[in-house]
Structure 1
Amino acid sequence: MEFNCIIERESFQLNATNRSLQISNKSFSQKFDLSLKVLITWLFRENEISGFLFENLVVEGDGLNMKKLKKFLSGKVTFSGIQIFYFFYGEINVNKNKATKVCTLINRETKLKFSCKCFKKSTTGIEKIHKEIEILQKASKNGLAPKIYECFESTNCVYVIMENLERIKDLEFIDDDIRVFLYNLIQTIASLHKENIVHKSLKMSHILFTEENKLKLVGFGQANNTDIQNNEFRLDIFKIGIIMYKFYQKQNFQVDQSLDIPDEGNSLLQSLLEWGNDQPFQLNLLLSHPYFKFLKNEGIPLQIQCMSPKFKTQVYLDENEEQIL
């Protein structure tokens, strides 16, 4: 995007791309690479954005253009002043080491609800925080993680504004729901691995759903996307097996280790817990396991668009046909 701006009463042209921000006129030109390390403070006049401060550079311009620029830069750079744009709405969930917390915020302008993950910089470290956000962004582009809208930073914390997702209690699942859930989870982890990302902390509390019941993952604090070892891929698969085991243990009210899962489910569970394939991308082969046979009998294709515990809706058969169950 391009528009005119003012710096120290002199006219400039601002040009923003996905990778850089350039400010120039006939006698001066300066280009900045966009990254989460870039911190921008928005300036206001009569409750409307009138410009921004970057390092020691004060850039002013038309309010509508500045508002469009903020939207364009969201997620590409970091903003300051989160309290100007959001206010606290819901309860706070703090992780065990008190390095992060998650809460619900409301956008002051749109009144829409968002999830916010807050990182304590002194505990986590800014480089590790940025790495987690970058992995989240990569996963979210493929619909595997919550969409990231904006990133903010204060003296002590970094805040990531994400889409608000729902958590479903696994005790509400019946056998059919478990199968659809596991099918989606295997698909999601297989897609994540194809993007060269391992989650490493997979558990029920890190599995959420959109309003359309699409499964997405959170909890990427231990995730890795560089120099990945095969045992890291296997860890994700093993944890799918743990989740499957716990589902049936709760469903059957069992406390011992023996389970009798229908439709060769025990075979699938063993495959997950003892996965030894050095090619993690072949995880999709598990989707043809007899345990998932009933899904195909109901006309559900390999790519399930969404799932809903107890009631499966909007199951797409092909591009031109839809079946409501």
Structure 2
Amino acid sequence: MEFNCIIERESFQLNVKDRSLQISNKSNQYSFDLSLKILITWLFRENEINGFLLENLVVEGDGLNMKKLKQFLSGKITFSGIQIFYFFHGEINVNINKATKVCTLINRQTKLKFSCKCFKKSVLGIEKIHKEIEIIQKASKHGFAPKIYECFESNNCIYLIMENLERIQDQEFMDDDIRVFLYNLIQTITSLHKENIVHKSIKMSHILFSEDNKLKLVGFGQANDTNIQNNEFRLDIFKIGMIMYKFYQKQNFQIDQLPVIPDEGNQLIQSLLDWRNDSPFQLNLLLNHSYFKLLKNEGIKFQIQCMSPKFKTQVYQNEDDESNF
């Protein structure tokens, strides 16, 4: 997008693309590579955005153009002044080492609810925070993680504004529901691995659902997308096996007894929990396992849509010692 702007009473042309922002006239040119390291402070006149502060530049312009610019830059760079745009709605969870917390915020203009992950800079460091956000962005583009809307920064924290997702209910599920859920989860992790991302912290509290019943992952604090070792892929697979075991343990729980699992389910669990198998993409083969045979006969996509609401709840529960996001 392009539009005219003013810097120190001089007229400039602002040009922004996916990866760069340029402000220039015949005498001067300013160029910025778009990344989370770029921090913009929005300026207001009569409660409307009319400009921004970027490094030492005060850039002013038409309110409508500035509003469109903010929308275009959202998620590509970092803004300051989160309290101007959002107000606190409720705290969800605090990380055990107080490095992160997740809360819900309300957008002051639209009144819509969002999830916000707050990173404490003094504990995690800027580079680690940015790395996690970049992995979430990468996963989000393919629909495996929450949509990212904006990133803000204050003196102490970085705030990631994301879509508000719903948690899996803490209850027993029928065998058919478990099969559909596991198929959906394996599909998601397989696709994540194909994008060269390992999650490394897959568990029930990190599996949520969007409004359209799409399974999405959160909790990317330990995730990796560079120089991945086969045992990191295997860790994700092992975690799926643990989730499957716990599902049946909850369904058939009796003191001093192992969970009752269908024969083909036992075979699948053994495959998932087999650390000797270090093939990074073997999950794709597991989708054809006999445990899922009945699903394919009855239409998997339809069953996933029917299954998801059974697993969803808007009640957030403290499950363990890690942040939900």
TM-score for both structures, normalised by structure 1: 0.92
Counterpart for residue 45 of structure 1: 45
Q: Are 1:144 and 2:144 counterparts?
A: yes
TM-superposed deviation, 1:310: 4.2
Cα 1:112–1:188 change in 2 (3 A) is same
Counterpart for residue 34 of structure 1: 34
1:1-325 mapped onto 2 (5 Å cutoff): 1-256=1-256, 258-262=258-262, 264-300=264-300, 307-310=307-310
Contiguous gaps of at least 5 residues in structure 1: 313-325
Q: Secondary structure at the match of 1:167?
A: strand
Cα 1:258–1:89 change in 2 (3 A) is same
Q: Secondary structure at the match of 1:88?
A: strand
Alignment size in residue pairs: 312
Two-structure CA RMSD over aligned residues (Å):
1.8
**Partner Cα separation in structure 1 for residue 303 and residue 287 of structure 2:** 10
Retained in 1: the 8 A contact 2:169–2:311? no
Contiguous gaps of at least 5 residues in structure 2: 313-325
TM-superposed deviation, 1:253: 1.1
Cα 1:311–1:205 change in 2 (3 A) is closer
TM-superposed deviation, 1:283: 1.0
Letter matched to residue 238 of structure 2? F
Retained in 2: the 8 A contact 1:101–1:117? yes
TM-superposed deviation, 1:305: 6.6
**Partner Cα separation in structure 1 for residue 27 and residue 121 of structure 2:** 40
**Partner Cα separation in structure 1 for residue 269 and residue 165 of structure 2:** 28
Q: Following TM superposition, where does structure 1 have runs of at least 4 consecutive aligned residues deviating by more than 6 angstroms?
A: none
Cα 1:4–1:306 change in 2 (3 A) is farther
Retained in 2: the 8 A contact 1:21–1:34? yes
TM-superposed deviation, 1:307: 4.1
**Partner Cα separation in structure 1 for residue 270 and residue 236 of structure 2:** 14
Retained in 2: the 8 A contact 1:174–1:310? no
**Partner Cα separation in structure 2 for residue 105 and residue 306 of structure 1:** 29
**Can you list the C-alpha shifts for 1:244-277, whole angstroms capped at 9, x where unaligned?**
0000000001354633312510000110000544
Retained in 1: the 8 A contact 2:36–2:78? yes
Q: Which has the higher contact order (CA 8 A, sep 6+)?
A: 2
Cα 1:306–1:40 change in 2 (3 A) is farther
**Partner Cα separation in structure 2 for residue 311 and residue 29 of structure 1:** 54
Retained in 1: the 8 A contact 2:39–2:77? yes
- Percent sequence identity over aligned pairs: 85
Letter matched to residue 110 of structure 1? T
